[in-house]
Amino acid sequence: MGSVLLLLLLLLVAAHPGGGRVQGPQDEQVPGLKGSPPAPVGTSANFQVHISPELVAVPPGDSVWLNCSHNCPLPGRSSLHTQLRQGQKVSRPGWVSYQLLDVRAWSSIVRCLVTCAGETREATARINAYKPPRSVILEPPVLEGRMYTLRCHVTHVFPVGFMVVTLRRKGRVIYFERLERFTGLDLANVTLTHVLRAGPQDLWQPLTCHARLNLDGLIVRSSSAPVMLTFLDWSPVSIALASTSIVILMGILLAVGAAYLRKYLVTQLPA
Ligand SMILES: *[C@@H]1O[C@H](CO)[C@@H](O)[C@H](O)[C@H]1NC(C)=O
Ligand SMILES: *[C@@H]1O[C@H](CO)[C@@H](O)[C@H](O)[C@H]1NC(C)=O
């Protein structure tokens, strides 16, 4: 039916060269049929794909939404390419919003491809999963023999494998550890232990613990409050022994007191 109409229209236009006045939805297609260049569906030249946000950081295990938009006037075909697990999807003319679930890889590239009038363009985004430490705590040094044991706790951090933990005395590095061997995909707590032989010159020098995440150039730093080395630091064992001896002493005093009281009562009681 449509083609018959078109044919009629063509005949009409051919018969009356001035017949361009004929109006109708078919008008636009006539030039195409005559073999002249197609009307500009336009755009292909400045057809653009955009993804938003282009860089996003989430704590491990979180999900994230990415919005892939384009200016193709036709219904463009859009798809997302990623190793991450995809969740829900919301499509509207001009954009598609994609949900990505349970992001645990520390860094992922996501590509959105849109095809418009046979041409495909793409936009990329990067999703990083990391979490700065909730806390960095250096315990008071414990003196055992002539050695101090230093323990530094770094809590709720990710990715541990990208972390370096450093102990400093008066700002100068005395020990550090790279934690590359940790490849877990969850938030983790890490305890670094270091045994230090300290001399008198180390007394009253501030000790600090530092956690540093190096995420391909993005540096995240956290530090502990300083603690001091003093010879008054007692190991838990000596504290336990000290408490025991206090309890024993109290016991002896009580026993002695009770004995006196009894003697006193006995002497005061009427015969
Ligand atoms: C996606 O992006 C488009 C274009 O910027 C915007 O109009 C739309 O509201 C966005 N959708 C969501 C869910 O953010
Ligand atoms: C890490 O330590 C915190 C306390 O600082 C604790 O609540 C949490 O359960 C620990 N997490 C793991 C994975 O051990």
| Ligand 2 centroid – CA 155 distance (Å) | 7
For 171-185, the pLDDT digits (tens) are: 899 999 999 998 888
**Closest ligand to the CA of 187:** 2
Return the pLDDT at 210: 97
User: Residue 11: what pLDDT?
Assistant: 36
What is the pLDDT at residue 72? 87
154-168, 192-206, 230-244: lowest mean pLDDT where? Answer: 230-244
- The band of 74, judged by pLDDT with boundaries at 50, 70 and 90, is confident
Has residue 249 got a pLDDT over 70?
no
Taking CA atoms only, the protein residue closest to ligand 1 atom 13 is: 97
Amino acid at 146: R
Q: Among 66-75, 92-101, 192-201, 235-244, which stretch is predicted with the lowest mean pLDDT?
A: 235-244
Summarize the confidence of residues 39-48 as an average pLDDT: 62
Instruction: Check: pTM over 0.85? Answer yes or no.
Output: no
What structural domains does the chain harbor? Answer: 49-129 (2.60.40.10), 135-229 (2.60.40.10)
**Ligand 2 center–CA 188 separation, angstroms:** 7
Measured in whole angstroms, the distance separating CA 240 from the mean position of its chain's CA atoms is 42
Assess contact for 108 and 185: CB atoms under 8 A.
Answer: no
Residues with a CB atom less than 6 Å from ligand 1: 67, 69, 95, 97
Which residues share a beta bridge with 174?
Answer: none
Query: Which of 150, 162, 160 lies closest to 224, judged by CA?
Result: 150
Confidence at 202, pLDDT banded by 50, 70, 90:
confident
CA atoms within 13 A on the CB side of 147: 7
